[in-house]
A = this chain, B = another copy of it.
Amino acid sequence: MFFQKEIETMPRKELEALQLAKLKETVAYCYNKVPFYHQKLTEAGVGDGSRIRQLSDVQYIPFTTKEDFRNNYPFGLNAAPMKDIVRIHASSGTTGKPTVGVYTKKDIDVWSDCVARVAVAGGVTDEDIIQISFGYGLFTGALGLHFGLEKIGATVIPASSGNTEKQMMMFRDFGVTGLVATPSYALYLSEAVKEAGYPLSDYSLRLGILGSEPCTPEMRAQIEANLGIYVSDNYGMTELGGPGVSGDCPERDGMHFAEDHFLPEIIDSATGERLREGGKGELVVTTLSRQGMPVLRYRTKDITSITYEPCPCGRTHARMSKTAGRTDDMMIIKGVNVFPTQIESVLVGMPYIGPHYQIVLRRVNFRDTLEIRVELADAELLERYQELQELQRSMHDRLKSVLGLEAKVTLVQPKTLERFQGKAKRILDLRNEPQA
């Protein structure tokens, strides 16, 4: 099923001609409307982009970074006058000022199309009743999915996050067929549904559209098993307008970009060089349709690869693999690159343990140590000591083989690790703390 079949299955040659035309337009628009880009494009000798001849010429355009957003807070990257802006979103930065995104009416419309494509590819129809359990507000996730799903004609329940009992009551009472949530909240809800004890036949759930944080295949499998649903994943971020930049098709073998609206590249994050097709590196994206806040070559910090191979689903748009992690999240431990997702993929599906874990890094006698605190699912378990010792040993061994690192595994009592309803904060880096 397609939301905009003609565009989603457009022959690549046509698609690339469209991208080239829109890239030239976008560069000229940025050059003319945004002093920040005007200066950077001038300095780089790209000017208004009129000399761009082919898509690969995008490499001559300077990168835009998170820091550029910070320095131009709040509206320094706006290309349209405030009169034409109908929406402002913002994501709370870990420190200080939020990252801001502004939208014209057309931006909202294009964004809703992108989200609708992802949702339809994930199986949503106008007969579905979808509960959106993302936190509503400044965050792009909830309103992004909301507008996309209403555009399809699905029934949207703006549940927002929190109040798990009420979430489950609505599942049952309203005949909810689909869930929108972060993978970690979906996992949490799915455990709660299991614990609540109603048979799955009391629910009409059949699909989940997850996003806003990475979802490992193992997490996905566990959510699918707990709720008896089919889960698809999608990708986006505030700097690029929110969710819907790319999303799973029924093959679930890479997420198709909305390539008519976004031009993706993969670079070596150390050198900034473009990698050849299939190479794993940092995703860089240029928006091709945004009016309020066009973005040239945004460095997403997400590590992935892109394929242009034809997909059996019929979509012609390029696919990105699941993000292996963010250059930000990547830990360097004793010189080894470690992503939290690698650790998660080991833990999910193991017996006795709940979905909550924490990664603790310490520096002891100038050597990094890695501890994984894993919460048990059941309070009585710590008493069954011998079995647990084996569990601990097995996790340790598997982690060692996956990471190539020694990690201490600590089992802790249920409900003792901090809970997160949005993006979970898993890493506790104490290496620069004084030693206890």
Q: Which residues of A come within 8 Å of B, CB atoms? A: 73-75, 82-83, 85-90, 92, 97, 100, 102, 105, 108, 126-127, 129, 136-138, 142-143, 150, 153-160, 166, 170, 173-175
Contact = CB atoms under 8 A, between A and B. Distances in A.
A252 B160 CA distance: 35
A112 to B, nearest CB: 12
Nearest to A150: B86
B88 A174 contact: yes
B136 A137 contact: yes
18 contacts: A82-B127, A82-B129, A83-B126, A83-B127, A83-B153, A86-B150, A86-B154, A87-B155, A87-B156, A87-B157, A88-B155, A88-B157, A88-B174, A90-B170, A108-B150, A136-B137, A136-B142, A137-B159
A74 B138 contact: no
Contacts of A83: 126-127, 153
Q: How many copies does the complex hold?
A: 2
Contacts of A86: 150, 153-156
A159 B86 CA distance: 14
A153 B86 CA distance: 6
Contact of A155 (B82, B126, B153, B159): B82
A82 B86 CA distance: 30
A91 B180 CA distance: 21
A85 B154 CA distance: 7
B173 A160 contact: no
Nearest to A129: B82
Given A137-B160, A159-B138, A87 B174 contact: no
B82 A158 contact: no
